[in-house]
């Protein structure tokens, strides 16, 4: 559990406003992990595979948890998810979907791909605060996360 704080949280979210709201809520919790943000799927894959602008491993530490939006410009969240879950190494990282879509088709498809949770973005800021607190507590204070392969 002790290591859980060392690894960062990766947020893949195209909307600046949504990210700002999420960021604000994370700061309100007592989780000290650093937060990295990618704005689209392409960037996220570069981050995770250390390619392109993230070829320097130091710039892109391996995240403990990924928060993924589904509707992204270019490479879509669904594609990022599929790529992650096919990679023997990356598939261990828990992925939480945070999306506007409450479409049951999306929910089912994501769980089938092996997501660790699916959260529908709420309108109400108070609700968002509660949700963020809940899932961060769960992942960083409750459960054991897998060892990092160095």
Q: Give the CA radius of gyration of the chain.
A: 14
Among 123, 144, 147, 150, binds another protein (CB under 8 A): 123
> What does DSSP assign to residue 33?
-
Among 23, 29, 75, 100, binds another protein (CB under 8 A): 100
Which residue, 22 or 45, has its beta carbon nearer to another protein?
22
**How far lies 91's CA from each of 25, 53, 72, 73, in Å?**
27, 22, 20, 23
Rama region for 55: left / alpha / beta (φ>0; ψ in -120 to 50; rest): alpha
Q: Does 15 bind another protein (CB under 8 A)?
A: yes
Q: Does 21 bind another protein (CB under 8 A)?
A: yes
Separation between Cα atoms, residue 6 and residue 146, nearest integer Å: 13
Among 4, 5, 18, 117, binds another protein (CB under 8 A): 18
> Computed from CA positions of residues 128, 131, 136, 139, in that sequence, does the dihedral angle turn out positive or negative?
negative
Among 34, 55, 91, 103, binds another protein (CB under 8 A): 103
Q: Does 125 bind another protein (CB under 8 A)?
A: yes
User: Interface residues with another protein (CB under 8 A)?
Assistant: 15, 17-18, 20-21, 24, 71, 99-101, 103, 121, 123, 125, 128
């Amino acid at each position: 559990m002790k290591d859980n704080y060392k690894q960062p949280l990766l947020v893949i979210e195209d909307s600046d406003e949504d990210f700002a709201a999420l960021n604000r809520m994370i700061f309100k919790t007592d989780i000290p992990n650093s937060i990295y943000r990618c704005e689209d799927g392409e960037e996220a894959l570069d981050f995770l595979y250390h390619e392109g602008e993230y070829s320097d491993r130091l710039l892109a530490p391996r995240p403990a948890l990924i928060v993924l939006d589904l509707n992204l410009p270019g490479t879509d969240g669904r594609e990022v998810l599929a790529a992650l879950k096919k990679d023997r190494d990356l598939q261990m990282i828990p992925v939480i979907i945070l999306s506007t879509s409450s479409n049951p088709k999306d929910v089912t498809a994501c769980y089938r791909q092996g997501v660790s949770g699916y959260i529908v973005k709420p309108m109400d800021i108070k609700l968002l605060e509660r949700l963020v607190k809940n899932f961060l507590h769960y992942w960083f204070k409750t459960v054991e996360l897998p060892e990092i392969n160095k």
